[in-house]
Amino acid sequence: MEKFGGKAIFKGVAIGKIVFGSKEKQQVRRTKITDTEAEKARYEAAKEEAVKQLQGLYEKALKEVGEDNAAIFEVHQMMLEDDDFNEGIIDKIENQQVNAEYAVAVTGDAMAEMFANMEDEYFKARSADIKDISERVISVLLGGGSLSRLSEPSIIVAEDLAPSETIQLDKDKLLAFVTELGSSNSHTAILARTMNLPALIGVKIDKAWNGKIGIVDGYKGIFIVDPDEETIETYKKIQKKDAEKRELLKSLKGKKTVSKSGKQIKLYANIGKPSDLASVIENDAEGIGLFRSEFLYLDSDDFPTEEEQFAAYKKVAETMGGKKVIIRTLDLGADKQVDYFNLGREDNPAMGYRAIRICLDRQDIFKTQLRALLRASAFGNIAIMYPMIISVDEVLQIKEIVEEVKKELREENVKFNEKIEQGIMIETPASVIMSYELAQLVDFFSIGTNDLTQYTLAIDRQNSKLDSINNPHHPAVLRSIKTVIENAHRAGIWAGICGELGADTALTQTFLDYGIDELSVSPSFVLPVRKAVCTAD
């Protein structure tokens, strides 16, 4: 038994026969041709056939792994039409009088090398795509066929895998991937994740493993070759547990989140960036209850522009279709600092210049975000939520600014949802105490239990020394939640929880008893919480 380290790109365990996916590089010989016109026509015909194959793969992928992942085969079709690629090939056929296979190979290799040498990880990863398309055309020119089918469930071990090879493999017989090359940004890695296949990259592979039994440990990033019986048994137990968890999750997908006594709640997910959407969909969240928009700012070296923000919000809204997407305005400050804001040092940052306080002070920044949010509201079911509210006055100021921005957009003839819902986070004791008055002004409440616990108990949530007494189950916190829900209902609006406590299934029954309308949790908690609601009274 031998163990090899690698980088896990998808969690899970696979046990099975290793199939070495060594792709014999197609032998391309240079030959001198005399009829360059005929050779160019040969190339054009092969290219057309390759485009057809890619269209077939696109349609297959569309059915199996969805539009986003299928898009790579459209990109490959476009790459085949790329002027630089085609001109390079035609030029070699015409001026060097070489055969089409050779012209394609040389042009493809040069372009792949150029991409491989680029700094940007994304472009680097495109090098494999260039190799993939040139090999496809060469294969057509040489009269080659497609990849052979797997005869039994197998772990594919290869130096590298192209997306087109990955998608062609029989999904039912594919247990896992282990590759030496590749990046977590490559489309093969993306496909592996979408297909729920444990996968490792960066493993020093060996042809001699072919036919042996292997274990892929996608939790620890280990590949085991020739495992002993005891190791196999240990991993079978992990697989069994995983399967039980998956079964539980599967059976809850598509179900309503409704308690035994018939109370239905909205079960949403929290995200920080558009790329979290895959797991929102995978876990069947009914909407987004908290999009922490500040991550767009944290991810950037300068203020994200209106266009950048608009694109991100629009993408989330469109991906979620008609489902609710609640986007929280900038909540920077305290532990979330960015240099370009120059917020300066504060003695008490958690109680300092943060969130809505910054926005009301720096209205230029706030208005840019509001413009982006309102514009994106024309593309889906967006609601806006304001953090760290302590007073009626703040909400009145916000509403005035929103009206100004709406007026601007109307004058510019820019479409937006006139009736966009606006809610506030209840995460300060002041907002709990004022919740009845605040509820008259907004469309919903979302309780931020992380900060509400911090401010109610006067315990800095960043201070690990206070962990043992930082108790969100404290009666003062629970009683606050109850008060907020009651006041929301008295004023005819809904109330939810988007803090971590919403995912605490020990409290699901309590929240239902309080009359909670919505829970928004990390994507991986959606189905466990659904289970807790469905089994509660």
Q: Which is nearer to ligand PEP, 209 or 455 (CB)?
A: 455
Specify the residue for token string 């413009």: 371
State the residues that interact with Mg ion by CB under 5 A: 427, 448, 451
Answer yes or no whether residue 521 interacts with ligand PEP by CB under 6 A.
no
Answer yes or no whether residue 331 interacts with ligand PEP by CB under 6 A.
yes
Catalytic residue among 474, 489, 498, 534: 498
Tell me the closest approach of the beta carbon of residue 350 to ligand PEP, in angstroms: 10
Dist. CA 520–CA 499, nearest whole Å: 8
Would you call 359 a catalytic residue per the annotation?
Answer: no
Phi, psi of 271 (to 5 degrees): -135, 165
Answer yes or no whether residue 394 interacts with ligand PEP by CB under 6 A.
no
From residue 431 to residue 470, the character string flagging contacts with ligand PEP as x (rule: CB under 6 A) and all else as - is -----------------xxxx-------------------
Size of the site for ligand PEP (CB under 6 A): 10
From residue 238 to residue 277, the character string flagging contacts with ligand PEP as x (rule: CB under 6 A) and all else as - is ----------------------------------------
- Residue 449 interface partner, choices ligand PEP, Mg ion, none, CB cut-off 5-8 Å depending on type: ligand PEP
Q: Which is nearer to ligand PEP, 257 or 270 (CB)?
A: 270
**Residue 219 amino acid letter:** Y
Give buried/exposed letters for 59-76 (b at 16+ CB in 10 A, else e). eebbeebeeebbebbbbb
CA 199, 201, 205, 207 torsion: positive or negative?
positive
Q: Which is nearer to ligand PEP, 290 or 536 (CB)?
A: 290
Phi, psi of 181 (to 5 degrees): -100, -170
**Looking only at residues 176 through 215 of this chain, which bind ligand PEP when binding is defined by CB under 6 A?**
none
Give the side-chain half-sphere CA count within 13 A for 210.
7
Of 394, 427, 504, 518, which lies in the binding site for ligand PEP, with binding defined by CB under 6 A? 427
Catalytic residue among 76, 187, 489, 534: 187
Would you call 498 a catalytic residue per the annotation?
Answer: yes
Nearest to 270 by CA among 336, 316, 315: 316
Dist. CA 235–CA 241, nearest whole Å: 10
Q: Residue 174 forms beta bridges with which residues? A: 154
Distances (CA, A) of 169 to 155, 161, 221, 249, 509: 11, 11, 23, 26, 46
Of 103, 365, 484, 498, which lies in the binding site for ligand PEP, with binding defined by CB under 6 A? 498
Answer yes or no whether residue 499 interacts with ligand PEP by CB under 6 A.
yes
Q: Which is nearer to Mg ion, 177 or 525 (CB)?
A: 525
Dist. CA 124–CA 133, nearest whole Å: 16
Q: Which residues are catalytic?
A: 187, 498
| Contact footprint for ligand PEP (CB under 6 A) | 290, 292, 331, 427, 448-451, 498-499
